[in-house]
Amino acid sequence: MLFLACKTGYASDGVSESDYYQELPVVLSASRLSQPLSDAPNAMTVIDRKMIVASGFRTIADLMKLVPGMYVSYYKGSQPIVAYHGTTDQFSRRMQVLIDGRSVYLPPTGSVSWADLPITVDDIERIEVIRGPAAASYGANSTQGVISIITRDAGSMDGKSVSYTKGDKGINDVETRFGKRGDTYDYRMTLAYTADNGYDSLTTPPNGYTMATFKAPGLLNNSNDSNQARMLNYRGDYHPNGIDRYDIQFGFNHDVQGVGFSDKNPSIYNSYMGTNGDPFHDLIGNSDYAQLGWTRQLDHGAELSLRYSHTRLDQYEAFPVYLVGVYFPGPVVQSMQSSRDEIEVQHTLPLSDSNRLVYGAGYQIDRAGGQSAMPPISQYYSSSYVYSEYRAFAHDEWRISPKWLLNLGGMFEKDDLGQFNTSPRIALNYHVTPEQTLRAGVSVAYRAPSTVETSYPLLQPGALYIPAPVMNSPGLQPEKLVSREIGYIGEFPDWATSIDLRLYSDQLSNGIYLSSTAKSFVNGMTGEYHGFEATVKHEFDQDNSLTVNFAHAWAASNGVLLAASGQKIMASSDPANSDILAASIPSNSASALYMVRLPHDYSFSASGYYQAAMQPFDRGAIDYQPIERRIDVRIARALALAGGVKGSIALVLQNLLNQAYTEYIASNLFNRRGYVTLTLDW
């Protein structure tokens, strides 16, 4: 992790972690410039390596629980949902996710397939989360925010490591890592296998339903909820001189997900489950990526960089189906392919001692396709789409005076859908004192329609294609979000405490939804989001710290979603629950992480999570999500063995008090579980 070297100058990389008591962290993602957190144009959360370890989480998506205002859940045990400020449908189309600058956003569904990412939690150095629109820096689909995952440098490891995790719910992970630091070339490689059985199963119907009204008791069985992933990733760094650096990355992932919600003959439950019965089966995914980067240090602190990346995901499934009153043993076979090629050039240029400029341009091409075959009735569907996009961006940081800092930037984008979008952002930071900063900002962001919205029906992972009276929507316009925020960052060195506050108001227009009258996706939803977020960090001493996050949010829409979907919202005394958008946002959420280093090489951490009740955006009343309360603990001991072998052994208990709760879908029941991890390094 990087930290700030001085309050009034630019951020420097040449500082140590011991400086944390006096200074705020440096962030790299907000404006594409290295800035102290107090100079950034957006509110941000940094999850560093120490927090990642202390959380005890096995999945990358779960780490987002440490971000104020972030919703994390799962459609199935292997299909995470990560969203900021609600609208928590299965795909969460408004969140951009980057890994070392490479977008992993999928164009067909406008989502991120977290289970298919070819990296592990141990590969991550830190995560920077931009809380709020960041289209000025990263373009379309950054309307809710940006999750920027930075992996460990190629030179971060010089040796070998093996780790084994075993626990409840089929948790069985093996990971080996090795690397080498050289005079001109560093590399590291990870080989990993991860497996678990997902959620627990309900024994009684949820949310006041009875066995008589539930109609499909088989849905209580969530036993086909497993995930097995085999992955490899490699990162190399070639630095032949003090000027040029070449970054080489590639990785692969083979993932098998248990999907479906019934272990019975689909014809038995057709009255409840509609046309297909969604029987138990496997969804198989194969993903890969390659990335090449070049960075040259120029005179007077300037820098030029060039990056190319390729990302691909193929998914396949086969299962029997119940259709139009007839049971077909099948199998129905369907698949989806998605890929993205992207190239980007960026130039960072200090214009003066008080002004820095970064600008650049990029081009990307997205390809998406799907096939579905239903042999019993000779039904076949195939689609293929190719879209390209050009973009140019710039951001200027002007230190007007020691107290005033202006961030001004924007992104221009043009795509094959005929869209021309300009996303500006302006933020003014006022350093009341060197330790107290106020920030005010306004930004505009757009979300481009996903392929599944413009070209319905396009096959979606885990969803059977059935011909439906829904037409293509080629005339869709991008959604637009205007965001206003006021922030405060305060440091109190005498108390070893920092405070980060954010007050925001966002207005969404031209929102996209599926209209039951037009039989297509249309624009027409408007919404507004308002809220308050806070993060407080306190260090009792160098080995003892506490981080607390809190978020309060509320929203409203023009009601077209309720009319279009016909969904029933769980009865509540809160009148806002007649609005699907409002009901989908937890009014209050909080998290806390306590970390302490104990004598005799022990360490202990405890974390707590709270989320108010909510109605998932695209689910019915049966999947109403009650209040969630959860406490996790982790205790570990460092090991020093013979022959210079070091390592650690750690025990993690999740949901320690066994306050069972459900997530997103009522059959996703999370009880207490535990696992042990043994790591050896040499």
DSSP state of 452: H
- Global confidence as pTM: 0.90
- Tens-place pLDDT, residues 426-452: 999 999 999 999 999 999 999 888 777
What confidence tier does 273 reach under pLDDT thresholds 50, 70, 90? very low
Query: Which among 89, 162, 192 has a CA at the least distance from the CA of 511?
Result: 89
At the second CATH level, the architecture of 17-681 is Beta Barrel (2.40)
pLDDT at site 653: 98
Percent of the chain with pLDDT over 70: 82
Q: Mean per-residue pLDDT for 625-631?
A: 93
Q: Which residues is 425 bridged to in the sheet?
A: 409, 443
Per DSSP bridges, beta strands 646-654 and 102-103 are unpaired
SS (H, E, C) 513-570: EEECCCCEEEEEEEEEEEEEEEEEEEEEECCEEEEEEEEEEEEEECCHHHHHHCCCCC
pLDDT at site 663: 86
Peptide bond just before 599 cis, omega within 30 deg: no
Joined tokens for residue 592: 């806390």
Q: Residue 256 above 70 pLDDT?
A: yes
Q: For the ranges 70-84, 376-390, 477-491, 582-596, which has the lowest average pLDDT? A: 376-390
- Tens-place pLDDT, residues 207-228: 777 666 555 555 566 778 899 9
